[in-house]
Amino acid sequence: MAKFIVTGGQKLEGDFVVAGAKNAALKMIAASIMIPGRTTIYNVPRIIDVLKMIEIIESLGGKSQFVGNTLTVDASEINSSQPNNNAIQQLRGSVVIIGPLLSLFGKAEFAQPGGCLIGARPIDTHLNAFKSMGAEIKYSGEHFQIATDDDFKTGDKVVVLEEMSVTATENVMMASVLRSGKTRIEICAAEPEIADLAEFLNKAGAKISGAGTNTIVVDGVEKLQPIEYAVMPDRIEVGTIAIAAAITGGKVRIKNIIPAHLQIVLNKFRACHLDFEIEMIDEKFADMIINQKTKLQAPETKWVDTRPYPGFPTDLQPPFVVLMTQAAGRTKVFETIFESRFDYVKWLSVMGAKIEIESPHIVEIEGKTKLHGEMIESTDLRGGAALILAALCADGETVINNTNYVDRGYENFDERLKKLGAKIERVE
C-alpha cells in the first residue's frame, strides 16, 4: 500500500484552491439517478469515495463521464434497484443511494454499508425512518431488502428522525422527492452539505424547503429535469489547510471559501490566536489568508467539543488536536459524535505529543510540544490527514503508511501540499 514520506519544518506558502465538498458531491451523484437525462456536476473532487459512488450508480445502469472536476451522469438507462455490493461495503456514504432508489423504484436491495472504522455506525436511523413512512425491511445474510407500496408513495407524512444524522436526513429527503404528497421531516441534521443537496434537487425541479434547518418539508413532484450544478467548497478541507498553514508558521491564501459555513471553526481559530483574515469576494464567497506570526495558544475555555452543525465539526477534530499540540496550554477535546475517532492519537504520542486519553470520547492535550518524525500509520480519513499535518511541523522525516485513507477524501493532497512548499513524497 502507498505511503507518504514527509520531511517536516517547511513553512507552507502560496495559494490553495479548495476542492468541492466530498460530503455534498457524493449525495448529488446518488441523487442524479432520479434525474432522467444528463446531469452535469461541477467542482466534484477526484477522490476514491467519489469514484466508488460513480461505480455504484454505474452498477444500476447509469453512465458517467468524469473530466477534470466535471462529472456528467446520464441516468436515462437506470434499470436496477440492486447496487453493486462490493462498492457499498467499501463506503459508508453509499447508504445515500437508498433514498433515490426508493423514490425511483419503491424498493432497494443492498449490503451493509462499510467505510472508515470510526465507530459503531449502524443505519438504524435511516431504516426506522423508512419504516415510519410505510416501508417493509428484511435483513438476512448481511443483506437488506426494502419494499414499499402505495402507502409509502402517497399522502402527507411526518417523519421524526431518531437523531440528527446527516445521511439519514438526506436519505429521507431524497426518498420524498418523487412522492405524491408532502413529507415533513423533523430532527433533521442542518449541515450545509444538506442544504447544498437540496439546492441541487430544487434546481432539478424538486420542492424542498427548510434544508439547513432542523425541519425539512418536501412537496413531492412527478419528475425532475437535467441540470448543471457546482458543488459547494469543502469546509473541512478549508479548516485542514488553515491549520497546516498555522502550525508551520506559514502564509497561505485559501481561495473560494464560504465563511458562513465555518463560523464556529473561525471562532475557535481566533481563540487559539491563529492569525487569519477573511477577504470577501462577493456576498457569499471569500478568500481566507493565514499569516501566522503570533504564538498559538490553547483556547481560554480549555475545552472544545464536536457537535452537529453549527457546532464544531467532528471531521475537523483530528486536525484541531494537532493544532493544540502546537499551542501553549492544556485543552480537552470532547468527541461527542463518534465512538472511536481518537485512534490516530496514539501515533501523535509516538511523535512526541503529550496527549492523555481520558475516555474513548475525551482527550487532553498539553502544548506546545516539539514533534519528531517517526514511522506511523493512517487509521482513517481525517485521522490520516491530521497525521500529515503533524508530520509537516515535526523535526525530521515521517513515514505515513496507508495513504489510501487520505485519498478517500482529499484530492491529490500530497501534490497540492507540495505546491505550498511541503516536502511530501508518495511512495507506491
List, by residue number, the catalytic residues. Answer: 116
Q: Can you tell me whether residue 199 is helix, strand or coil?
A: helix
CB nearer to ligand EPU: pick between 14 and 122: 122
With binding defined as CB under 6 A, does residue 189 bind ligand EPU? yes
Alpha-carbon distance 312 to 335, whole Å?
10
Q: What is the layout of strands, in order, in the sheet containing 63-67? A: 63-67, 70-74, 38-42, 228-230
Beta bridge partners of 277: 289
With binding defined as CB under 6 A, does residue 337 bind ligand EPU? yes
Q: Which of 73, 133, 168, 224 binds ligand EPU (CB under 6 A)?
A: 168
CA distances (Å), origin 181, targets 176, 178, 195, 209:
8, 9, 21, 14
CB nearer to ligand EPU: pick between 188 and 391: 188
Q: Which of 8, 45, 93, 299 binds ligand EPU (CB under 6 A)?
A: 93
Cis, bond preceding 83 (omega within 30 deg of 0): no
Sequence-ordered alpha helix ranges (H) in 204-307: 235-247, 263-271
| Count of other CB atoms within 10 angstroms of residue 300 | 9
Alpha-carbon distance 74 to 297, whole Å?
51
Q: Which of 382, 385, 387, 398 binds ligand EPU (CB under 6 A)?
A: 382
Q: Which of 3, 52, 121, 255 binds ligand EPU (CB under 6 A)?
A: 121
Q: Which of 125, 248, 292, 398 binds ligand EPU (CB under 6 A)?
A: 125
Q: Which stretch binds ligand EPU (CB under 6 A): 3-11, 20-28, 268-276, 364-372?
A: 20-28
Alpha-carbon distance 150 to 180, whole Å?
10
Residue 127 CB, nearest approach to ligand EPU (Å):
7
With binding defined as CB under 6 A, does residue 310 bind ligand EPU? no
Residue 397 CB, nearest approach to ligand EPU (Å):
27
φ and ψ at 415, to 5 degrees? -65, -40
With binding defined as CB under 6 A, does residue 61 bind ligand EPU? no
Residue 249 CB, nearest approach to ligand EPU (Å):
27
Q: List interacting residues with ligand EPU (CB under 6 A).
A: 22-23, 26, 92-93, 119-126, 163, 165-168, 189, 314-315, 337-338, 381-382, 409
